[in-house]
Amino acid sequence: MKPTHIFTNGCSFLTRRPKENVMTHVGMELAKLMNLKEARHFGAGGRGNKRLSVSTKIWCERNPVIARKCFYVIGITSGMRQDFPMTTGYKKHKFPELNSFWKTYKPWENRATEAFFKHLSTTADIDLEQMAYFESLEATLNLQNYFKIKKFPYVMYKTLPDPVLVRDKRDIKHKDIYTLQGLIDEKRYFKPNFSHLEYTEQNKQHCSPDDHHPSAEGHKDWATQLKEFIDANNLRTI
């Protein structure tokens, strides 16, 4: 069955930016190009890949009728963003249609989070670089497997660059990560080694000099390339 609706999820690179007069985003533009109606848009600033994966699957399970009619667009973000379920509060971070509370922490966000992640890497001897990469890979593979089981058509791409790029098998530190990368279905992964942020910077498609999120032109350009990739690889169905 060909999809009639579109579902989008990702970070701020999949959102409008009204303050910069950017009133569209990749999902909206792709919906027009593919002649699809919007079913649900979960894109929001600052979230990590665990939240992205969890919110997508729960929405699908709670909305099975419309979920079967959707084409899914997933913008994988930075693995350095760590998502945590919260015991209480943070209502502004509550997912639509979800009962759980979440908050995303980034090592560079403020002094408190910087100190927390520094404690993890020094006192607890946690390798943050590897943690970030494993988080991204697990979220990606988990969601791809879910779509495969459900027979939901989808496309993925990177909104932000990975903290590391493991391209050399001789890199002993990242050998396990390199192995897991081979499990990703790249047929449904647009530009797996190049992010939307990098493309935006390369083509000077920022929404303003002080804001490196895509301009309206940047969203339309990326959506056009996504549409071409989807059609060239017959990704509308699975």
Report the Cα 65 to chain-centroid distance in Å: 24
pLDDT tens, position by position, 23-58: 999 999 999 999 999 988 888 888 889 889 998 999
CA atoms within 13 A on the CB side of 115: 3
215 close to 203: Cβ distance less than 8 angstroms: no
pTM (2 decimals)?
A: 0.88
Percent of the chain whose pLDDT exceeds 90: 51
- Average pLDDT over the chain reads 85
Mean pLDDT confidence for 177-201: 90
Q: What domains can be seen in the chain, in order of their start residue?
A: 5-232 (3.40.50.1110)
Lowest pLDDT segment from 84-93, 133-142, 190-199: 84-93
Lowest pLDDT segment from 15-29, 122-136, 145-159: 122-136
Q: What is the pLDDT of residue 164?
A: 46
35-54: b or e for each residue (b if 16 or more CB lie within 10 Å)?
ebeebbbbbbeebbbbbbbb
Q: What is the pLDDT of residue 171?
A: 61
pLDDT over 60 (residue 5) = yes
Closest listed residue to residue 77, CA positions, set 213, 227, 223: 213
